[in-house]
Amino acid sequence: MSTPDDLGHDDLGHDDLGHDDLGHDDLKPDDLKPAEHMDLLRAALAEDHATEDVTTAALVGAGRRASAEMLVKAPGVVCGLPLIAAVFELLDEAVEVQLLAEDGDTVGAGTVIARIDGPAAALLQGERTVLNFVQRLSGVATMAATYAEAMLGGPGIYDTRKTTPGWRALEKYAVRCGGGRNHRMHLADAAMLKENHLVAAYGTRGPDSIARAVRGLIEHSAAGLTLYIEVEDAKELDAAIEAAGEEAGRLVLMLDDFDIAAIRAAVARVRTMAPPRPQLEVTGGVTLERIEGLAATGVGRLSSGALTHSAPALDISLKIRNAS
């Protein structure tokens, strides 16, 4: 694992992030491999008792075939399209899917993103499962795009681990499709020091506990492992930097609920340092309403759990157009 990139400055005065410090920015939107998610797809179909669809069994003959379209009913960024064929093929390998868009595409209302042909029973049995995946992932991608566009070329927007259980890889992929960046994928990816760790380890918080924890992490973690350190004020920021010493380049200092003036002061503090410098990330209260002011501080990173935990599903429908 690499350390965070040094703070360089582009023409806008923002930190040059380069690639994500954990390497996840190297993953492209077309990296979705359905074969890696087959257990989840099977579980979703089983949850819906797809092969026991009493309505379809009663009304739709085994020989009936149908053609359907997937239609986007609101503008957004589509994601999860390779999963469409994977779901239907679990029900009937005779189903054929033609994708008319790619993951990461921005589409308008009324766009047909896929055509599906095959046994009518399979289309009906898999309809809701397919829509659940594509609507959810497209919603996350659209939310990430909304945040990313609001950056206006400024800091990067990062997700968190506030994801749906079992869906983390997919939801973080959706964030990338929308132009966002991935924070650590799991607990083994990087160290992240938060208030609960301080209280659990030392019984107290504050600058002294921060310094003690930073020294402990450097001593006991693998060389080069990224260390995310949550700080709540300038004293804790200074304590973390001073405790890290020559290892400060491994730090991502997470400014928790800092106001604009405090963020600017933190940016100024770090810019006085000789490389390797820590990265600064604003966390907590990162909303669309605050993006412009936060971006103007020169901080290099913003993170928000809203990219995943508050993204509404994109309105998409599946309509059978004809059957015979």
Catalytic residue among 42, 64, 115, 162: 162
Catalytic residue among 194, 269, 271, 290: 194
Q: Is 128 marked active-site?
A: yes
**How far apart, in whole angstroms, are the C-alpha atoms of residue 128 and residue 107?**
21
Q: Is 194 marked active-site?
A: yes
Q: Which two tokens stand for residue 239?
A: 């304590």
Extract long-range pairs of 197-201: CB within 8 Å, 24+ residues apart: none
Q: Which residues of 241-272 are buried (b: 16+ CB within 10 A; e: fewer)?
A: bebbeebbbbbbbbbbebeeebbeebbebbee
Catalytic residue among 20, 103, 159, 230: 230
**How far apart, in whole angstroms, are the C-alpha atoms of residue 68 and residue 118?**
9
Catalytic residue among 64, 65, 128, 290: 128
**How far apart, in whole angstroms, are the C-alpha atoms of residue 56 and residue 40?**
24
- Report the candidate in 70, 126, 55, 65 with the shortest Cα–Cα distance to residue 314: 70
Q: Is 212 marked active-site?
A: no
Triad 36, 90, 30: Cα angle to 5°:
40
Q: DSSP secondary structure string, 96-110?
A: EEEESS-TT-EE-TT
**How far apart, in whole angstroms, are the C-alpha atoms of residue 27 and residue 9?**
24
Catalytic residue among 256, 271, 290, 315: 256
Q: Provide the residue type at 192 as one letter.
A: M
* Residue bearing tokens 């898999």: 126
Q: Is 162 marked active-site?
A: yes
Q: Is 256 marked active-site?
A: yes
| Cβ contact 267:154 at 8 Å | no
The residues that are catalytic are 128, 162, 194, 230, 256
